A = this chain, B = another copy of it.
Amino acid sequence: MLQTDTLLNGLQILQDPQGFMYGIDAMLLADFAAPYIYKKDNLIDLGTGNGIIPLLLSTVSPASQITGLEIQKESSELAQKSVALNHLEEKIKIVNGDLKDSPSIFKKHSFKLVSSNPPYMLNSQGKLNPDDAKAIARHEVLCNLEDVICAADYLLATHGRFFMIHRPSRLAEILSLLLKYKLEPKRMRLVHPDKDTAANMLLIEARKNAAPELKVEAPLFVYSGKNIYSQEMNAITARLAKVVTE
């Protein structure tokens, strides 16, 4: 039932095919954040799922300590097993808990960095099954966007960075909420399937209490032709895989 991922040579990630499986999103977020992570920085990944983001960042960034917070027991156990499989117990700590309870689990303003690949979809009807692992990872069943940003604000030190991947369709809400919590949007990148298609993902970096001024970086196109990854996507995969195998 469990499977070991082979996409990223060397890094072993357990996924439950019946649950939510990580995809390109986690890789893009890790690659977007990595160049802005420095030695001695500590990071917390909110809603870490099977731990893919901590696992990737532990290898492609010099972060000293990475915490993954996950509300679902099974996912957090999988994440813990992957950490052990990769002998990363010294660097990565997996915590089974609710990001809305951050104030009772973590010290205020105690992280330099926060990352998150939160559920993208609204749960407007509130009809989704709260026991459905996939629904929880994809829809705002157990937490919504404001919960994530509010937790990031609580956890981040002044001038700390918050990295998130989300959907462009919710950009207005994302930027408004970031401003509401004084997390100033500083860097954004839109991800398009190809150069002629609307964006389907967005990467954003906000800095706590920073001065306003957003840089919208050159766009990222995932494909350059039918089923052909763009040069840049290949470079990203290579960067993530390279460090892992070294």
Contacts and interface: CB of A to CB of B under 8 A. Distances in A.
Given A190-B190, A192-B219, A219-B219, A214 B168 contact: yes
A178 interface: yes
Number of copies: 2
Contacts of A190: 190, 216, 219
A172, A176, A185, A214: residue with the most chain B Cβ atoms closer than 10 Å = A172
Contact of A171 (B170, B185, B195, B196): B185
Nearest to A168: B216
A172 B219 contact: no
Contact of A172 (B168, B170, B185, B218): B185
Interface stretch (A26-34, A91-99, A147-155, A197-205): A197-205
Interface in A196-226: 196-199, 202, 212-219
Nearest to A173: B212
B199 A169 contact: no
Contact of A198 (B185, B195, B216): B216
A172 B184 contact: yes
A175 interface: yes
A206 to B, nearest CB: 9
Main DSSP-derived SS at the A contact region: mixed
B176 A214 contact: no
Nearest to A174: B175
A179 interface: yes
A214 B216 CA distance: 16
Interface in A159-197: 168-173, 175-176, 178-179, 184-185, 188, 190, 192, 195-197
Contacts of A188: 171
16 contacts: A168-B214, A169-B213, A169-B215, A171-B185, A171-B214, A172-B176, A172-B212, A172-B214, A173-B179, A175-B175, A175-B176, A190-B190, A192-B218, A195-B218, A198-B217, A199-B216
Interface of A: 168-173, 175-176, 178-179, 184-185, 188, 190, 192, 195-199, 202, 212-219
Q: 8 closest Cβ contacts across the A-B interface?
A: A199-B216, A168-B216, A172-B175, A172-B185, A176-B176, A175-B175, A219-B219, A169-B213
